[in-house]
Amino acid sequence: MEDLKAIVRARYGENHPISGDYDKELAVKCINGTFVGVKTDDIIAYKGIPFVGEQPAGKNRFKKPVPFGKDEGVYEAYHFAKGSLQPESPDDAGALAVTGEDCLYLNIWKNTADLSAKKPVMVWIHGGGFTQGSTVNPLYDGYNFVRDNGEVILVTIAYRVGGLGFIHLKHLPDGADYPDAQNLGILDQMMALKWVHENIAAFGGDPDNVTIFGESAGGCSVTLLPLIPEARGYFHRVIAQSGTPNYTSSTEQAIAATDLLMKELGCKTVADLLACPPEKIADVAGTILALEDWPERDGELIPLDPYDAYLKGEARDIDFIEGCNKDEMGQFACFMTPEGFTDYFIMRRERKFAQMSPEDVEKLKAFLDNTPGNQYHKTFKLGDQLYFICPAFRISENRTAVGGKTYHYFFRVETSKPHFLSGHAAELPAVFNNPQDIFFSGRPYDDTFNHTIQRMWVNFAKNGDPSLTEEDSPTGQAIQWEPYNSEAKPVMIFDEFNVHQSTEADYGIVDWEKTYPLTKYFIF
């Protein structure tokens, strides 16, 4: 961990104002300043660009992001900025970064060898369960991505996480002045997308062709943002990797999480929280609110039932790629050990039983009874279904029912890490093709496979269709990806040496009778 921590922390640096000469070819004039990047071969990287007028520290803690304004200054964009405050964790390289409240920055990569005008823009939103992660993670470095796909511009954005990004405060005695605290991280993402919309043309990007994509919490984010009218004007397509509205809380759950945090901190008011060191808030929240401290389905910014909102036709004109991995729970089993994983998720399962009708509890018990293996295997497979597989298919089903276009995938490549299999985040090394970073995969994947996924993502960003022709396919073979429909249920299967179109039924991916109906409980 210490070696990885040193690598991640070495990527951080302070960007300073420039008062003297600078390379005009590396400079881009934006609304809030002129930013000077660093060129390596044909790739220019602009790192640590602020997308807010003031950072969310001090008086701005628990407040919505401050809009960026005009600035005639010239600034370095040489280094990654700080990540959002969070406990250090060996489970996510981004959680080993230099962190602080002053964390709302973005990064941009463009390939100068490709002279295409108005390039499609791809904006990455990182994962981490809304409690950890950062753009500093070497896994998300965009150099290789734009080197091999020069016709797009890649952007990675930061947002507040954990107790500083998602905390319900309105019920506290002095909470009325903090009406947005429960969804600050989502509001940060919206501000970053606004900055991209208003500035990316200066980098050669097309503000009218923006695809947002993300994994885990980032995947959840990109399925929530289309349901927010104010956000919809900033992007045009969505790629959701192992993330759905399942990772959200009801208002009642959010209040309970806040009350638990307040008790642990010895705080009774927002004033008490403001007097508390932000590092302590982040550390305590990260310790006691894991898998609890999430965006709130408040009925204001985020619908009370996001799945129902899709079924009613919200965002039907925004095309999606949606999918997940074969053994999602493998990441948790790897990091927690099988024994720790089993104990923890049985505890969560039992707690969720109390929220469910007797009939639905029987569905769960029937699924467990019919799943071979010991408690570990049963718990693992139930988690795959409830937390990832069924919610992803519900997005595709609901959008298809009202005329929305979604391309569905199922990733099956197994890592070399113990117990990980094709676990949560296993697809990330393929999407970014950083073969030196094997944090999740344990091994480099086949290079042709990586490029195949990248070309599908890029083709989708360019024209809304991820299919490959013989000319643009890394294998030289065309791959037609059919949009999802509720009858045939076509699915793109990502096997390392056999990417192919199939159907859900061919692989028996979903238990439509026992687990799919339980997505109504937002059961994570």
Residue-wise pLDDT for 347-378, tens only, equals: 988 887 788 999 999 999 999 999 999 999 99
Question: Comparing C-alpha atoms, which of 519, 518, 481 is closest to residue 503?
Answer: 481
| Region 133-151 average pLDDT | 97
Contact by Cβ (8 Å): 149, 115 = no
- To the nearest whole number, what is the mean pLDDT of the chain? 96
441 an active-site residue? no
Contact by Cβ (8 Å): 411, 323 = yes
Q: b vs e for 159-171, b when ≥16 Cβ sit within 10 Å of the residue's Cβ?
A: bbbbbbbbbbbbe
Axis-axis angle for helices 375-383, 338-353 (nearest 10): 60
Which of the following is catalytic: 84, 89, 134, 216?
216
How far, in Å, CA of 393 to CA of 322, rounded? Answer: 8
How far, in Å, CA of 42 to CA of 466, rounded? Answer: 26
Query: What is the percent of the chain where pLDDT is above 70?
Result: 99
pTM for the model stands at 0.98
Strands 406-411 and 105-111: unpaired
Q: How confident is the model at residue 27 (pLDDT cuts 50, 70, 90)?
A: very high
When mean pLDDT is compared across 180-189, 286-295, 342-351, 491-500, the lowest value belongs to 286-295
What string of H, E and C letters represents the secondary structure of 59-128?
HHCCCCCCCCCCCCCEEECCCECCEECCCCCCCCHHHHCCEECCCCEEEEEEECCCCCCCEEEEEEECCC
| Region 113-138 average pLDDT | 96
* Furthest CA-CA distance within the chain: 72
The CATH superfamily assigned to 2-465+475-521 is Alpha/Beta hydrolase fold, catalytic domain (3.40.50.1820)
Q: How confident is the model at residue 91 (pLDDT cuts 50, 70, 90)?
A: confident
Chain segment 57-90, per-residue pLDDT in tens = 999 999 999 999 999 999 999 999 999 999 998 8
pLDDT of residue 18: 98
| Region 215-223 average pLDDT | 98
- 315: region left, alpha or beta (phi > 0 left; psi from -120 to 50 alpha): left
Element containing residue 288 per DSSP (H, E) = helix 278-288
Rounded to the nearest angstrom, the gap between the alpha carbon of residue 281 and the centroid of all alpha carbons in its chain is 23
- 31: region left, alpha or beta (phi > 0 left; psi from -120 to 50 alpha): alpha
Rg, Å, the chain Cα set: 22
Which tokens is 101 given? 């409240």
Residue 417 three-state SS? coil
Residue that wins the pLDDT comparison between 291 and 317: 317
Contact by Cβ (8 Å): 434, 146 = no
